[in-house]
Structure 1
Amino acid sequence: MRKVVVTDHNEKWPLMFAEEAAKLRGIFGSEITSIHHIGSTSVKGLKAKPIIDMMPLVKNIESVDSFNDAMKKIGYEAKGENGIPGRRYFQKGGDTRTHHVHIFESGNHEGERHIAFRDYLRAHSDTAEKYGNLKESLAKRFPNDVEAYIKGKEQLVLEIERQAITWYQA
């Protein structure tokens, strides 16, 4: 069973991202146009589940499926689109996940949405603090219910996302 754990920001998260990004570059090579550290672990000072979210952008999303075996060899489970059309999603670590990889084709609006959300939280520490405190509270309230944790933060995430996209596009 997956436990919901939210911790204070860990200064090692950017290094963990960089190490894993190097592995992904080794697998995907020139198919990758860029790799972004996204999610809460990418925002300095933000409380987060200790899972590194990564977003490689690729030239052709259809080509990603041919790398599933190579990803499996470094510990990832391929989950296909996993609910978001145009994405390829991979998880590492089973019930004690360490990394999520969200792959989009360059130019996909979902990629821009993730970057806008991250950059907005980086630029607005008050919003990041509010978001981190909510996540910490929900993790304490629902330590064994990932779905309730996700549902509990959904409204604030949508609110931040709307603000972030407007801010990012300006």
Structure 2
Amino acid sequence: MSIKVDFFKVEVVPHDPNWRSAFETESKLIALALRENVVAIHHIGSTAIPQIHAKPIIDMLVEVKDILKIDTQSSEMEALGYQAMGEFGISGRRYFRKDRTHHIHSFEVGSPQIERHLAFRDYMITHSEAAQEYSELKRKLAEKYPDNIEAYMDEKDGFIKAMDLKAAKWRASH
């Protein structure tokens, strides 16, 4: 199934140490907006992995008690500048985006997607050689597909799936 992605230039930049504080600032606003439904907010994606290139978009994983309640909290998220995108291709997710600066992936506690995202992030942080390989792949793909985010994402997919498997095995052994 293909998801329609709005056009924008694929930009991959060196790691910015300010991404962490940008996450912390935004996560506090999200916690206030979603109140008691929030269980945890995690910084995920490439901006959460030190020393690698990334699209300058802060990805956040928001664990919630009730995913359906998120649907009734969309106006609170819209007040923060987010656009509600529904599941956006992943069953059980509620996806929000804010300009080209922040993406929120909300999942209900217990979703296997939570563990997948956190294992990938933690594996990359712990295995710098894999992180640098990912960084270089992202840089090359951004050069190859500067105007085609779908091709950029498609070509990263095999690497990400392979790392997901390694990350899951690594996580299970720890």
- TM-score for the superposition, normalised by structure 2: 0.94
| Aligned mates of 2:154, 2:37 — CA distance in 1 | 35
Report the aligned-residue RMSD.
0.6
For residue 105 of structure 1, the aligned residue among 103, 108, 122 is 108
Within the alignment, does 1:9 sit opposite 2:15 as a pair? yes
Runs of at least 5 residues in structure 2 that lack an aligned partner in the other structure: 1-6
Partner SS, residue 88 of structure 1 = strand
Letter of the aligned partner of 1:81 in structure 2? E
Structure 2 counterpart of 1:56 = 62
Within the alignment, does 1:137 sit opposite 2:109 as a pair? no
Structure 1 counterpart of 2:84 = 78
Question: Which of 69-78 and 123-132 deviates more?
Answer: 69-78
Partner SS, residue 63 of structure 2 = strand
Q: CA deviation at 1:23?
A: 0.4
Within the alignment, does 1:91 sit opposite 2:94 as a pair? no
After superposition, the C-alpha distances for 1:100-145 in whole angstroms (9 at most, x for unaligned) are 0000011110011000000000000000000000000000111000
Runs of at least 5 residues in structure 1 that lack an aligned partner in the other structure: none
Structure 1 counterpart of 2:71 = 65
| Aligned mates of 2:86, 2:135 — CA distance in 1 | 29
Q: How many residues align?
A: 167
Partner SS, residue 9 of structure 2 = coil
| Aligned mates of 1:73, 1:34 — CA distance in 2 | 21
Q: CA deviation at 1:169?
A: 1.5
For residue 167 of structure 1, the aligned residue among 165, 170, 173 is 170
Partner SS, residue 75 of structure 2 = helix
Letter of the aligned partner of 1:164 in structure 2? A
- TM-score for the superposition, normalised by structure 1: 0.97
